[in-house]
Amino acid sequence: MSATAIPTAASVADAVARLSPEGRAFIDGAYVDALSGETFDCVSPIDGSVIAQVAACDQADVDRAVKGARAAFEKGAWSKASPAKRKHTLIRFAELIREHADELALLETIDMGKPIADSRQIDIPGAAKTINFYGECADKVSDEIAPTDPSAVAMVVREPLGVIGAVVPWNFPLLMAAWKLGPALATGNSVVLKPAEQSPLTAIRIAQLAVDAGIPAGVLQVVPGFGETAGQAIGLHMDVDMVAFTGSTEVGKYFMRYSGESNLKRVSLECGGKTPHIILPDYPDLDKAAEAVAWGIFFNQGEVCNAGSRLLVHEGIRDDFIARVAKVAQGIQPGNPLDQGTKMGAMVDATQMERVLGYIEAGKADGATVAMGGSRVMQDTGGCFIEPTIFADVTNDMKIAQEEIFGPVLSAITFSEVDEAVRIANDTVYGLAGALWTRDVSTAHKVARDIKAGVVWVNCFDAGDITTPFGGFKQSGFGRDKSMHAMEKYTDLKLIWLQLD
Ligand code: NAD
Protein backbone atom coordinates (compact mmCIF):
# COMPACT_ATOMS: atom_id res chain seq x y z
CA MET A 1 0.00 0.00 0.00
CA SER A 2 1.24 3.51 -0.74
CA ALA A 3 2.28 5.83 2.03
CA THR A 4 -0.32 8.47 1.26
CA ALA A 5 -3.48 7.02 -0.29
CA ILE A 6 -6.48 6.34 1.90
CA PRO A 7 -6.72 2.54 2.04
CA THR A 8 -9.67 0.82 0.54
CA ALA A 9 -11.16 -2.54 1.30
CA ALA A 10 -14.40 -3.79 -0.15
CA SER A 11 -15.45 -5.45 3.10
CA VAL A 12 -14.22 -6.44 6.53
CA ALA A 13 -13.40 -9.90 5.17
CA ASP A 14 -11.35 -8.34 2.38
CA ALA A 15 -9.45 -6.20 4.91
CA VAL A 16 -8.78 -9.22 7.14
CA ALA A 17 -7.49 -11.20 4.17
CA ARG A 18 -5.10 -8.38 3.32
CA LEU A 19 -3.95 -7.66 6.87
CA SER A 20 -3.90 -11.05 8.65
CA PRO A 21 -4.20 -9.23 12.02
CA GLU A 22 -1.79 -10.35 14.72
CA GLY A 23 -3.52 -11.05 18.03
CA ARG A 24 -0.73 -12.33 20.25
CA ALA A 25 0.92 -10.45 23.08
CA PHE A 26 4.31 -8.84 22.46
CA ILE A 27 6.81 -9.60 25.22
CA ASP A 28 10.60 -9.24 25.20
CA GLY A 29 10.72 -8.53 21.48
CA ALA A 30 8.53 -11.37 20.20
CA TYR A 31 4.89 -12.25 19.67
CA VAL A 32 3.76 -14.85 22.20
CA ASP A 33 0.56 -16.59 23.20
CA ALA A 34 -0.94 -16.02 26.63
CA LEU A 35 0.64 -18.50 29.06
CA SER A 36 -2.79 -20.03 29.57
CA GLY A 37 -3.23 -20.41 25.82
CA GLU A 38 -6.57 -18.59 26.14
CA THR A 39 -7.80 -16.27 23.41
CA PHE A 40 -10.90 -14.20 22.81
CA ASP A 41 -12.74 -13.21 19.65
CA CYS A 42 -11.96 -9.77 18.30
CA VAL A 43 -15.23 -8.72 16.67
CA SER A 44 -15.65 -5.98 14.08
CA PRO A 45 -18.58 -3.68 14.91
CA ILE A 46 -18.96 -3.02 11.18
CA ASP A 47 -20.60 -6.39 10.47
CA GLY A 48 -20.27 -8.47 13.62
CA SER A 49 -17.62 -10.78 12.14
CA VAL A 50 -14.65 -12.18 14.05
CA ILE A 51 -11.46 -10.59 12.71
CA ALA A 52 -8.79 -12.08 14.99
CA GLN A 53 -8.14 -14.30 17.94
CA VAL A 54 -6.52 -12.21 20.64
CA ALA A 55 -4.39 -13.46 23.53
CA ALA A 56 -6.37 -13.23 26.76
CA CYS A 57 -3.49 -12.18 28.99
CA ASP A 58 -3.93 -12.49 32.71
CA GLN A 59 -1.93 -12.00 35.85
CA ALA A 60 0.78 -14.49 34.83
CA ASP A 61 1.35 -12.73 31.48
CA VAL A 62 1.39 -9.32 33.10
CA ASP A 63 3.95 -10.59 35.60
CA ARG A 64 6.10 -11.93 32.78
CA ALA A 65 5.81 -8.64 30.89
CA VAL A 66 6.66 -6.56 33.97
CA LYS A 67 9.70 -8.75 34.75
CA GLY A 68 10.97 -8.30 31.19
CA ALA A 69 10.28 -4.56 31.30
CA ARG A 70 12.13 -4.27 34.62
CA ALA A 71 15.08 -6.28 33.30
CA ALA A 72 15.28 -4.03 30.24
CA PHE A 73 15.12 -0.96 32.47
CA GLU A 74 17.90 -2.20 34.74
CA LYS A 75 20.06 -3.22 31.80
CA GLY A 76 20.01 0.41 30.75
CA ALA A 77 20.17 0.05 26.96
CA TRP A 78 17.19 2.42 26.82
CA SER A 79 16.91 3.97 30.29
CA LYS A 80 20.55 5.05 30.27
CA ALA A 81 20.88 5.70 26.56
CA SER A 82 21.80 9.25 25.66
CA PRO A 83 18.75 11.44 25.15
CA ALA A 84 19.96 12.01 21.59
CA LYS A 85 19.86 8.27 20.93
CA ARG A 86 16.34 8.02 22.32
CA LYS A 87 15.40 10.98 20.16
CA HIS A 88 16.65 9.40 16.93
CA THR A 89 15.04 6.06 17.75
CA LEU A 90 11.64 7.56 18.57
CA ILE A 91 11.71 9.67 15.42
CA ARG A 92 12.41 6.47 13.46
CA PHE A 93 9.52 4.78 15.28
CA ALA A 94 7.25 7.65 14.21
CA GLU A 95 8.48 7.29 10.63
CA LEU A 96 7.65 3.59 10.66
CA ILE A 97 4.14 4.35 11.90
CA ARG A 98 3.78 6.79 9.00
CA GLU A 99 5.14 4.25 6.53
CA HIS A 100 2.55 1.74 7.76
CA ALA A 101 -0.23 4.29 8.02
CA ASP A 102 -2.50 2.65 5.45
CA GLU A 103 -2.27 -0.72 7.14
CA LEU A 104 -2.72 0.72 10.63
CA ALA A 105 -5.69 2.83 9.56
CA LEU A 106 -7.47 -0.14 8.04
CA LEU A 107 -6.75 -2.20 11.14
CA GLU A 108 -8.10 0.56 13.39
CA THR A 109 -11.27 0.92 11.34
CA ILE A 110 -12.21 -2.75 11.17
CA ASP A 111 -11.39 -3.19 14.85
CA MET A 112 -13.09 -0.11 16.28
CA GLY A 113 -15.61 0.96 13.63
CA LYS A 114 -14.54 4.55 13.02
CA PRO A 115 -14.58 5.94 9.46
CA ILE A 116 -11.51 5.02 7.44
CA ALA A 117 -10.94 8.68 6.52
CA ASP A 118 -10.69 9.55 10.23
CA SER A 119 -8.32 6.67 10.96
CA ARG A 120 -6.12 7.68 8.05
CA GLN A 121 -6.24 11.44 8.48
CA ILE A 122 -6.52 11.84 12.25
CA ASP A 123 -5.69 8.81 14.39
CA ILE A 124 -2.62 7.35 12.70
CA PRO A 125 -0.94 10.66 11.70
CA GLY A 126 -1.76 11.92 15.21
CA ALA A 127 -0.03 8.92 16.79
CA ALA A 128 3.05 9.37 14.58
CA LYS A 129 3.15 13.08 15.32
CA THR A 130 2.95 12.40 19.05
CA ILE A 131 5.83 9.91 19.04
CA ASN A 132 7.85 12.27 16.84
CA PHE A 133 7.17 15.23 19.15
CA TYR A 134 8.39 13.38 22.24
CA GLY A 135 11.38 12.11 20.31
CA GLU A 136 12.21 15.73 19.56
CA CYS A 137 11.70 16.62 23.24
CA ALA A 138 13.99 13.89 24.55
CA ASP A 139 17.15 15.98 24.37
CA LYS A 140 15.59 19.38 25.01
CA VAL A 141 15.09 19.08 28.77
CA SER A 142 17.89 20.08 31.13
CA ASP A 143 18.31 19.49 34.84
CA GLU A 144 18.81 22.28 37.39
CA ILE A 145 21.46 23.56 39.73
CA ALA A 146 19.73 25.09 42.77
CA PRO A 147 20.85 28.56 43.94
CA THR A 148 22.39 27.37 47.20
CA ASP A 149 25.33 28.68 49.14
CA PRO A 150 28.46 28.43 46.94
CA SER A 151 29.96 25.88 49.31
CA ALA A 152 27.75 23.24 47.70
CA VAL A 153 26.51 22.17 44.29
CA ALA A 154 22.89 21.08 44.57
CA MET A 155 21.82 19.30 41.42
CA VAL A 156 18.11 18.69 40.88
CA VAL A 157 17.95 15.92 38.31
CA ARG A 158 15.02 14.12 36.73
CA GLU A 159 15.09 10.33 36.57
CA PRO A 160 12.73 7.93 34.82
CA LEU A 161 10.36 6.11 37.17
CA GLY A 162 11.02 2.59 35.86
CA VAL A 163 8.13 0.42 34.65
CA ILE A 164 5.01 2.24 33.50
CA GLY A 165 1.69 0.43 33.11
CA ALA A 166 -0.27 2.13 30.34
CA VAL A 167 -3.95 1.17 30.30
CA VAL A 168 -5.92 2.74 27.47
CA PRO A 169 -9.48 2.87 26.05
CA TRP A 170 -10.98 1.96 22.71
CA ASN A 171 -12.16 5.27 21.28
CA PHE A 172 -8.82 6.40 19.81
CA PRO A 173 -6.89 3.18 20.38
CA LEU A 174 -3.52 4.01 18.85
CA LEU A 175 -3.61 7.74 19.56
CA MET A 176 -4.36 7.28 23.28
CA ALA A 177 -1.55 4.71 23.47
CA ALA A 178 0.82 7.16 21.75
CA TRP A 179 -0.03 9.90 24.27
CA LYS A 180 1.38 7.56 26.95
CA LEU A 181 4.20 5.93 24.99
CA GLY A 182 5.73 9.16 23.69
CA PRO A 183 6.59 10.86 27.00
CA ALA A 184 7.13 7.61 28.93
CA LEU A 185 9.66 6.28 26.43
CA ALA A 186 11.31 9.65 25.75
CA THR A 187 12.18 9.90 29.45
CA GLY A 188 13.73 6.41 29.50
CA ASN A 189 11.03 4.25 31.06
CA SER A 190 9.92 0.77 30.07
CA VAL A 191 6.20 0.42 29.31
CA VAL A 192 3.70 -2.41 29.67
CA LEU A 193 0.79 -1.37 27.47
CA LYS A 194 -2.68 -2.86 27.84
CA PRO A 195 -5.00 -1.89 25.00
CA ALA A 196 -8.76 -2.10 25.47
CA GLU A 197 -10.22 -5.52 24.75
CA GLN A 198 -12.52 -3.95 22.14
CA SER A 199 -9.65 -2.58 20.03
CA PRO A 200 -6.26 -4.22 20.67
CA LEU A 201 -4.95 -4.71 17.13
CA THR A 202 -3.01 -1.52 16.35
CA ALA A 203 -1.21 -1.57 19.72
CA ILE A 204 -0.14 -5.15 19.06
CA ARG A 205 1.05 -4.23 15.57
CA ILE A 206 3.16 -1.22 16.52
CA ALA A 207 5.08 -3.17 19.17
CA GLN A 208 6.99 -4.81 16.33
CA LEU A 209 7.53 -1.44 14.65
CA ALA A 210 9.05 -0.14 17.90
CA VAL A 211 11.61 -2.94 17.89
CA ASP A 212 12.23 -2.43 14.16
CA ALA A 213 12.97 1.22 14.95
CA GLY A 214 15.63 0.18 17.47
CA ILE A 215 13.80 0.31 20.80
CA PRO A 216 15.39 -2.56 22.75
CA ALA A 217 13.36 -5.70 23.38
CA GLY A 218 11.47 -5.56 26.68
CA VAL A 219 11.16 -1.76 26.72
CA LEU A 220 7.70 -1.87 25.12
CA GLN A 221 5.54 -4.85 26.08
CA VAL A 222 1.93 -5.23 24.92
CA VAL A 223 -0.48 -7.41 26.91
CA PRO A 224 -3.97 -7.56 25.41
CA GLY A 225 -6.72 -8.81 27.69
CA PHE A 226 -9.67 -7.84 29.77
CA GLY A 227 -9.81 -5.09 32.33
CA GLU A 228 -10.71 -7.33 35.25
CA THR A 229 -7.74 -9.62 34.55
CA ALA A 230 -4.86 -7.95 32.69
CA GLY A 231 -5.84 -4.40 33.70
CA GLN A 232 -6.25 -5.26 37.34
CA ALA A 233 -2.98 -7.24 37.36
CA ILE A 234 -1.14 -4.12 36.16
CA GLY A 235 -2.88 -1.99 38.78
CA LEU A 236 -2.00 -4.38 41.61
CA HIS A 237 1.50 -5.33 40.47
CA MET A 238 4.13 -4.66 43.11
CA ASP A 239 6.81 -3.82 40.55
CA VAL A 240 4.92 -1.34 38.37
CA ASP A 241 6.03 2.17 39.33
CA MET A 242 3.20 4.10 37.76
CA VAL A 243 -0.06 3.55 35.93
CA ALA A 244 -0.96 6.00 33.19
CA PHE A 245 -4.65 5.39 32.63
CA THR A 246 -7.18 6.70 30.16
CA GLY A 247 -10.73 5.46 30.46
CA SER A 248 -13.87 5.87 32.51
CA THR A 249 -14.02 7.60 35.87
CA GLU A 250 -15.38 4.40 37.39
CA VAL A 251 -12.30 2.39 36.40
CA GLY A 252 -10.02 5.32 37.24
CA LYS A 253 -11.23 4.97 40.83
CA TYR A 254 -10.30 1.29 40.76
CA PHE A 255 -6.74 2.24 39.87
CA MET A 256 -6.53 4.54 42.88
CA ARG A 257 -7.67 1.63 45.00
CA TYR A 258 -5.23 -0.82 43.37
CA SER A 259 -2.41 1.58 44.14
CA GLY A 260 -3.35 1.75 47.82
CA GLU A 261 -3.70 -2.00 48.03
CA SER A 262 -0.30 -2.67 46.42
CA ASN A 263 2.84 -0.54 46.28
CA LEU A 264 1.49 3.03 46.24
CA LYS A 265 2.39 3.28 42.58
CA ARG A 266 1.73 6.67 41.10
CA VAL A 267 -1.44 7.00 39.10
CA SER A 268 -2.36 9.48 36.43
CA LEU A 269 -5.95 9.50 35.25
CA GLU A 270 -7.53 10.80 32.07
CA CYS A 271 -11.18 10.00 32.67
CA GLY A 272 -14.63 10.88 31.43
CA GLY A 273 -16.37 14.15 30.66
CA LYS A 274 -19.70 15.88 30.12
CA THR A 275 -18.53 18.94 28.25
CA PRO A 276 -20.81 22.02 28.24
CA HIS A 277 -20.94 23.85 24.92
CA ILE A 278 -22.32 27.34 25.66
CA ILE A 279 -23.85 29.52 22.94
CA LEU A 280 -24.39 33.16 23.83
CA PRO A 281 -26.82 35.08 21.61
CA ASP A 282 -24.33 37.83 20.76
CA TYR A 283 -22.21 35.52 18.64
CA PRO A 284 -22.88 36.76 15.10
CA ASP A 285 -22.27 33.60 13.05
CA LEU A 286 -24.65 31.02 14.49
CA ASP A 287 -24.15 28.70 11.52
CA LYS A 288 -20.47 28.48 12.36
CA ALA A 289 -21.26 27.75 16.00
CA ALA A 290 -23.88 25.15 15.00
CA GLU A 291 -21.36 23.41 12.76
CA ALA A 292 -18.96 23.20 15.73
CA VAL A 293 -21.70 21.96 18.07
CA ALA A 294 -22.73 19.19 15.65
CA TRP A 295 -19.20 17.98 14.99
CA GLY A 296 -18.37 18.47 18.66
CA ILE A 297 -20.80 15.72 19.61
CA PHE A 298 -21.08 13.55 16.49
CA PHE A 299 -17.40 13.22 15.55
CA ASN A 300 -16.13 9.69 16.23
CA GLN A 301 -19.76 8.57 16.86
CA GLY A 302 -19.76 10.70 20.01
CA GLU A 303 -17.18 8.34 21.51
CA VAL A 304 -14.93 11.18 22.59
CA CYS A 305 -14.03 11.99 26.21
CA ASN A 306 -14.39 15.73 25.62
CA ALA A 307 -17.45 15.45 23.34
CA GLY A 308 -19.65 18.53 23.67
CA SER A 309 -22.56 16.43 24.94
CA ARG A 310 -24.40 19.27 26.71
CA LEU A 311 -25.52 22.17 24.52
CA LEU A 312 -26.22 25.18 26.73
CA VAL A 313 -28.09 27.55 24.46
CA HIS A 314 -29.60 30.94 25.31
CA GLU A 315 -33.39 30.68 25.51
CA GLY A 316 -33.86 33.49 22.98
CA ILE A 317 -32.24 31.50 20.14
CA ARG A 318 -33.05 27.97 21.23
CA ASP A 319 -35.34 26.70 18.45
CA ASP A 320 -33.45 28.43 15.68
CA PHE A 321 -30.11 27.16 16.94
CA ILE A 322 -31.21 23.55 17.46
CA ALA A 323 -32.59 23.58 13.89
CA ARG A 324 -29.21 24.76 12.61
CA VAL A 325 -27.39 21.99 14.52
CA ALA A 326 -29.86 19.40 13.18
CA LYS A 327 -29.25 20.61 9.63
CA VAL A 328 -25.51 20.01 10.00
CA ALA A 329 -26.16 16.64 11.68
CA GLN A 330 -28.21 15.52 8.65
CA GLY A 331 -24.89 15.39 6.82
CA ILE A 332 -23.18 13.25 9.50
CA GLN A 333 -25.30 10.11 9.14
CA PRO A 334 -23.79 6.66 9.81
CA GLY A 335 -22.41 4.75 6.85
CA ASN A 336 -20.05 1.90 6.06
CA PRO A 337 -16.80 2.85 7.84
CA LEU A 338 -14.81 1.37 4.96
CA ASP A 339 -16.28 3.88 2.48
CA GLN A 340 -14.02 6.86 2.10
CA GLY A 341 -16.89 9.35 2.23
CA THR A 342 -18.37 8.06 5.49
CA LYS A 343 -18.42 10.62 8.28
CA MET A 344 -19.91 8.56 11.10
CA GLY A 345 -19.05 4.92 11.69
CA ALA A 346 -20.19 2.12 13.99
CA MET A 347 -20.37 2.12 17.78
CA VAL A 348 -17.43 0.12 19.09
CA ASP A 349 -19.47 -2.96 20.01
CA ALA A 350 -22.96 -4.23 20.73
CA THR A 351 -22.58 -3.55 24.46
CA GLN A 352 -21.80 0.11 23.90
CA MET A 353 -24.61 0.40 21.35
CA GLU A 354 -27.11 -1.02 23.85
CA ARG A 355 -25.79 1.31 26.53
CA VAL A 356 -26.33 4.35 24.31
CA LEU A 357 -29.81 3.18 23.30
CA GLY A 358 -30.58 2.77 27.01
CA TYR A 359 -29.66 6.42 27.60
CA ILE A 360 -31.92 7.47 24.73
CA GLU A 361 -34.80 5.64 26.42
CA ALA A 362 -33.90 7.27 29.74
CA GLY A 363 -34.02 10.70 28.11
CA LYS A 364 -37.51 10.04 26.78
CA ALA A 365 -38.66 8.65 30.13
CA ASP A 366 -37.36 11.74 31.94
CA GLY A 367 -39.45 14.00 29.68
CA ALA A 368 -36.88 15.29 27.18
CA THR A 369 -38.05 15.73 23.58
CA VAL A 370 -36.38 13.90 20.70
CA ALA A 371 -35.63 16.70 18.23
CA MET A 372 -33.73 14.40 15.89
CA GLY A 373 -32.78 10.73 15.49
CA GLY A 374 -33.00 8.39 18.46
CA SER A 375 -32.68 4.97 16.80
CA ARG A 376 -30.41 2.18 15.81
CA VAL A 377 -29.95 2.08 12.02
CA MET A 378 -28.42 -0.18 9.34
CA GLN A 379 -29.37 -3.36 11.22
CA ASP A 380 -29.14 -5.36 8.00
CA THR A 381 -25.34 -4.97 8.05
CA GLY A 382 -25.03 -6.86 11.34
CA GLY A 383 -23.15 -3.80 12.61
CA CYS A 384 -23.68 -1.41 15.52
CA PHE A 385 -24.94 1.90 14.14
CA ILE A 386 -26.89 4.70 15.86
CA GLU A 387 -28.10 7.86 14.13
CA PRO A 388 -27.21 11.35 15.40
CA THR A 389 -29.63 12.14 18.18
CA ILE A 390 -30.62 15.51 19.63
CA PHE A 391 -32.72 15.96 22.76
CA ALA A 392 -34.44 19.28 23.49
CA ASP A 393 -36.19 20.27 26.74
CA VAL A 394 -33.43 18.75 28.82
CA THR A 395 -32.84 19.88 32.39
CA ASN A 396 -29.44 19.46 33.93
CA ASP A 397 -30.65 17.04 36.58
CA MET A 398 -31.70 14.45 33.98
CA LYS A 399 -29.63 11.32 33.55
CA ILE A 400 -28.76 12.26 29.95
CA ALA A 401 -27.34 15.58 31.22
CA GLN A 402 -25.38 14.12 34.13
CA GLU A 403 -23.93 10.82 32.92
CA GLU A 404 -21.39 10.26 30.20
CA ILE A 405 -23.23 8.57 27.33
CA PHE A 406 -20.24 8.18 25.03
CA GLY A 407 -22.38 8.07 21.93
CA PRO A 408 -23.97 10.40 19.35
CA VAL A 409 -26.46 12.02 21.72
CA LEU A 410 -26.70 15.77 22.30
CA SER A 411 -28.69 17.15 25.25
CA ALA A 412 -29.87 20.74 24.74
CA ILE A 413 -30.47 22.83 27.87
CA THR A 414 -31.55 26.49 27.92
CA PHE A 415 -30.43 29.38 30.13
CA SER A 416 -31.30 33.05 30.37
CA GLU A 417 -28.24 34.66 32.01
CA VAL A 418 -24.52 34.03 31.59
CA ASP A 419 -24.11 33.26 35.30
CA GLU A 420 -26.79 30.62 35.01
CA ALA A 421 -24.98 29.06 32.06
CA VAL A 422 -21.77 28.85 34.10
CA ARG A 423 -23.61 27.34 37.05
CA ILE A 424 -25.17 24.65 34.84
CA ALA A 425 -21.84 24.07 33.08
CA ASN A 426 -20.15 23.35 36.42
CA ASP A 427 -23.03 21.29 37.83
CA THR A 428 -21.49 17.90 37.02
CA VAL A 429 -18.88 15.66 38.59
CA TYR A 430 -16.77 16.05 35.47
CA GLY A 431 -14.36 18.82 34.50
CA LEU A 432 -12.59 17.78 31.35
CA ALA A 433 -13.51 20.55 28.93
CA GLY A 434 -15.89 23.41 28.19
CA ALA A 435 -16.58 25.76 25.30
CA LEU A 436 -18.33 29.07 24.70
CA TRP A 437 -19.18 31.28 21.78
CA THR A 438 -19.37 35.05 22.27
CA ARG A 439 -18.10 38.25 20.70
CA ASP A 440 -17.68 39.94 24.08
CA VAL A 441 -14.06 39.68 25.15
CA SER A 442 -14.80 40.38 28.82
CA THR A 443 -17.44 37.64 28.94
CA ALA A 444 -15.07 35.29 27.16
CA HIS A 445 -12.33 35.85 29.75
CA LYS A 446 -14.64 35.65 32.72
CA VAL A 447 -16.53 32.53 31.64
CA ALA A 448 -13.32 30.76 30.56
CA ARG A 449 -11.95 31.33 34.07
CA ASP A 450 -15.19 30.35 35.79
CA ILE A 451 -15.67 27.03 34.01
CA LYS A 452 -14.03 24.31 36.10
CA ALA A 453 -12.33 22.27 33.41
CA GLY A 454 -8.88 21.42 32.12
CA VAL A 455 -9.51 23.09 28.78
CA VAL A 456 -11.92 25.82 27.68
CA TRP A 457 -12.40 26.64 24.02
CA VAL A 458 -13.59 30.11 23.01
CA ASN A 459 -15.21 30.47 19.58
CA CYS A 460 -13.99 27.04 18.51
CA PHE A 461 -14.30 23.45 19.69
CA ASP A 462 -11.78 20.66 20.25
CA ALA A 463 -8.91 22.80 19.05
CA GLY A 464 -5.56 21.56 20.26
CA ASP A 465 -2.07 20.64 19.37
CA ILE A 466 0.51 18.19 20.61
CA THR A 467 2.25 21.21 22.18
CA THR A 468 -0.73 21.91 24.49
CA PRO A 469 -1.58 19.97 27.67
CA PHE A 470 -4.79 17.97 27.93
CA GLY A 471 -6.52 16.56 30.99
CA GLY A 472 -9.21 17.10 33.54
CA PHE A 473 -10.31 18.76 36.74
CA LYS A 474 -12.63 17.11 39.29
CA GLN A 475 -13.60 13.51 38.49
CA SER A 476 -12.25 13.81 34.96
CA GLY A 477 -8.92 12.92 36.52
CA PHE A 478 -5.52 14.47 37.10
CA GLY A 479 -2.20 14.61 35.35
CA ARG A 480 -1.78 15.88 31.83
CA ASP A 481 -1.21 14.17 28.50
CA LYS A 482 0.40 15.98 25.56
CA SER A 483 2.89 18.85 25.62
CA MET A 484 6.22 18.85 27.44
CA HIS A 485 4.30 18.91 30.75
CA ALA A 486 3.42 15.25 30.21
CA MET A 487 7.07 14.32 30.61
CA GLU A 488 7.05 15.45 34.23
CA LYS A 489 4.77 12.68 35.43
CA TYR A 490 7.00 9.93 34.02
CA THR A 491 10.02 11.18 35.95
CA ASP A 492 10.95 11.88 39.51
CA LEU A 493 13.11 14.62 40.98
CA LYS A 494 16.32 13.65 42.71
CA LEU A 495 18.48 16.05 44.66
CA ILE A 496 22.22 15.42 44.63
CA TRP A 497 23.86 17.71 47.17
CA LEU A 498 27.58 17.85 46.63
CA GLN A 499 29.42 19.57 49.49
CA LEU A 500 32.60 21.23 48.30
CA ASP A 501 35.79 21.08 50.35
P1 NAD B 1 -12.99 1.76 30.53
O2 NAD B 1 -12.70 2.53 31.77
O3 NAD B 1 -14.07 0.77 30.55
O4 NAD B 1 -11.68 0.97 30.07
C5 NAD B 1 -10.45 1.61 29.90
C6 NAD B 1 -9.34 0.60 30.08
O7 NAD B 1 -9.39 0.11 31.42
C8 NAD B 1 -9.45 -0.62 29.16
O9 NAD B 1 -8.17 -1.01 28.75
C10 NAD B 1 -10.08 -1.65 30.07
O11 NAD B 1 -9.76 -2.98 29.71
C12 NAD B 1 -9.48 -1.30 31.41
N13 NAD B 1 -10.32 -1.75 32.53
C14 NAD B 1 -11.67 -1.91 32.55
N15 NAD B 1 -12.07 -2.37 33.75
C16 NAD B 1 -10.95 -2.51 34.51
C17 NAD B 1 -10.72 -2.95 35.84
N18 NAD B 1 -11.71 -3.36 36.62
N19 NAD B 1 -9.44 -2.95 36.29
C20 NAD B 1 -8.43 -2.55 35.50
N21 NAD B 1 -8.58 -2.15 34.23
C22 NAD B 1 -9.83 -2.11 33.73
O23 NAD B 1 -13.17 2.85 29.41
P24 NAD B 1 -13.55 2.61 27.88
O25 NAD B 1 -14.97 2.20 27.83
O26 NAD B 1 -12.52 1.75 27.23
O27 NAD B 1 -13.36 4.08 27.28
C28 NAD B 1 -14.30 5.05 27.42
C29 NAD B 1 -13.94 5.97 28.57
O30 NAD B 1 -12.64 6.53 28.37
C31 NAD B 1 -14.87 7.16 28.66
O32 NAD B 1 -15.23 7.38 29.99
C33 NAD B 1 -14.02 8.31 28.13
O34 NAD B 1 -14.40 9.57 28.60
C35 NAD B 1 -12.67 7.93 28.60
N36 NAD B 1 -11.63 8.62 27.85
C37 NAD B 1 -10.98 9.67 28.43
C38 NAD B 1 -10.01 10.38 27.73
C39 NAD B 1 -9.28 11.52 28.35
O40 NAD B 1 -8.25 11.92 27.82
N41 NAD B 1 -9.75 12.08 29.46
C42 NAD B 1 -9.71 10.01 26.42
C43 NAD B 1 -10.40 8.94 25.85
C44 NAD B 1 -11.36 8.25 26.58
- Domains of the chain, with CATH numbers? 15-271+477-495 (3.40.605.10), 276-465 (3.40.309.10)
Query: Closest Cα to atom 38, ligand 1: which residue?
Result: 305
> For position 409, what pLDDT does the model report?
98
Arithmetic mean of pLDDT, 225-240? 98
Q: Given the CA of residue 170, which atom of ligand 1 is nearest to it?
A: 26
pLDDT-derived band of residue 174, with 50, 70 and 90 as boundaries?
A: very high
Distance CA(230)–CA(251), nearest Å, equals 13
Do the beta carbons of residue 337 and residue 344 sit within 8 Å? no
Whether 272 is in the pocket of ligand 1, judged by its Cβ within 6 Å, is: yes
Decide whether any atom of ligand 1 lies within 6 Å of the 78 Cβ.
no
The finding on whether 302 has its CB within 6 A of some atom of ligand 1 is no
- Measured CA to CA, the distance from residue 434 to residue 264 in angstroms comes to 32
The Cα 306–Cα 391 span in angstroms is 19
How far is residue 370's CA from residue 102's CA, in Å, rounded to a whole number?
39
Catalytic positions = 270, 305
Is 305's C-beta closer than 6 angstroms to any atom of ligand 1?
Answer: yes
Mean residue pLDDT of the chain comes to: 97
Ligand 1 centre from 249 Cα, in Å? 8
pLDDT of residue 2: 44
- For a mutational test of ligand 1's pocket, the pick from 176, 245, 251, i.e. the residue with the most ligand atoms closer than 8 A to its C-beta, is 251
Please tell me the predicted confidence (pLDDT) of residue 165: 99
Higher local confidence (pLDDT), 5 or 273: 273
- Nearest atom in ligand 1 to the alpha carbon of residue 472 is 41
Whether the predicted pLDDT of 4 surpasses 90: no
What is the 25 CA–ligand 1 centroid distance (Å)? 20
Residue pair 345/114 in contact (Cβ under 8 Å)? The answer is yes
Q: Report whether residue 171 contacts ligand 1, using a CB cutoff of 6 Å.
A: yes
Residue 412: phi and psi, rounded to 5, are: -95, 125
Does residue 408's CB lie within 6 angstroms of at least one atom of ligand 1? no
User: In the predicted model, is pLDDT for residue 6 greater than 70?
Assistant: no
Q: Ligand 1: which residue has its CA nearest to atom 32?
A: 248
Q: Is the pLDDT of residue 384 over 80?
A: yes
- Distance, in Å, from the CA atom of 405 to the CA atom of 305, rounded to the nearest integer, reads 10
Average pLDDT over residues 33-42: 98
| Residue 464 and residue 133 in contact, taking contact as beta carbons nearer than 8 Å | no
What's the gap in Å between 368 CA and the centre of ligand 1?
28
Read off the pLDDT of each residue in 396-400 and give the average, rounded to a whole number: 98
Residue-level pLDDT at 137: 98
For residue 235, report the distance from its CA to the centre of ligand 1, in Å: 13
pLDDT tens sequence across 78-98 = 999 999 999 999 999 999 999
Of all protein residues, the one whose alpha carbon is nearest to atom 40 of ligand 1 is: 270
305 touches 172 (CB < 8 A): no
Q: Which residues contact 15 (CB under 8 A, 6 or more apart)?
A: 9, 51, 106, 107, 109, 110, 338
Distance 227 CA to ligand 1 centre (A): 9
- Residue whose CA lies nearest to ligand 1 atom number 16: 227
Indicate whether residue 167 lines ligand 1 (CB < 6 A): yes
Residues 357-371: tens digit of each pLDDT: 999 999 999 999 999
Confidence grade of residue 5 (pLDDT, cut at 50, 70, 90): low
Atom 13, ligand 1: residue with shortest CA distance: 227
Alpha-carbon gap, residue 107 to 42, rounded angstroms: 12
Check if the beta carbon of residue 196 is closer than 8 Å to that of residue 224.
Answer: no
Can you give the pLDDT at residue 360? 98
Q: Is 89 in the pocket of ligand 1 (CB under 6 A)?
A: no
Best residue for ligand 1 mutational test, from 171, 237, 353, 404 (most atoms within 8 Å of Cβ): 171
Give pLDDT tens digits for 292-342. Answer: 999 999 999 999 999 999 999 999 999 999 999 999 999 999 999 999 999
Cβ atoms of residues 257 and 182 within 8 Å: no
Please report the pLDDT score of residue 8 as a whole number. Answer: 80
Q: CA torsion angle for 364, 365, 368, 374 (degrees, to 10)?
A: -10
Measured from the Cα of 432, ligand 1's closest atom is 41
Q: Report the relative pairing of strands 430-431 and 473-474 from DSSP bridges.
A: antiparallel
CA distance 482 to 193: 17
At 431, the pLDDT band (50, 70, 90 cuts) reads very high
Going by their DSSP bridges, the two strands 491-499 and 455-458 should be labelled as unpaired
Q: How far is the CA of 77 from the centre of ligand 1 (A)?
A: 32
Q: Is the pTM of this model over 0.95?
A: yes
- How many Å apart are CA 484 and CA 93, to the nearest integer? 19
Q: Which stretch of DSSP H or E encloses residue 393?
A: none
Q: What pLDDT band is residue 3 in, cutting at 50, 70 and 90?
A: very low
Residue 470: DSSP 8-state: B
* Ligand 1 centroid, distance to 408 Cα (angstroms): 18
- Specify the pairing of strand 433-437 against strand 455-458: parallel
How many angstroms separate the alpha carbon of residue 270 from the centre of ligand 1? 9
Task: Calculate the alpha carbon distances from 409 to 273, 369, 453 in Å.
Answer: 14, 12, 21
Q: Is the pLDDT of residue 1 over 70?
A: no
In angstroms, the CA 26 to CA 93 distance is 16
Residue 421 has a pLDDT of: 98
Q: Span 239-254, mean pLDDT?
A: 98
The verdict on the CB of residue 270 being under 6 Å from ligand 1 is yes
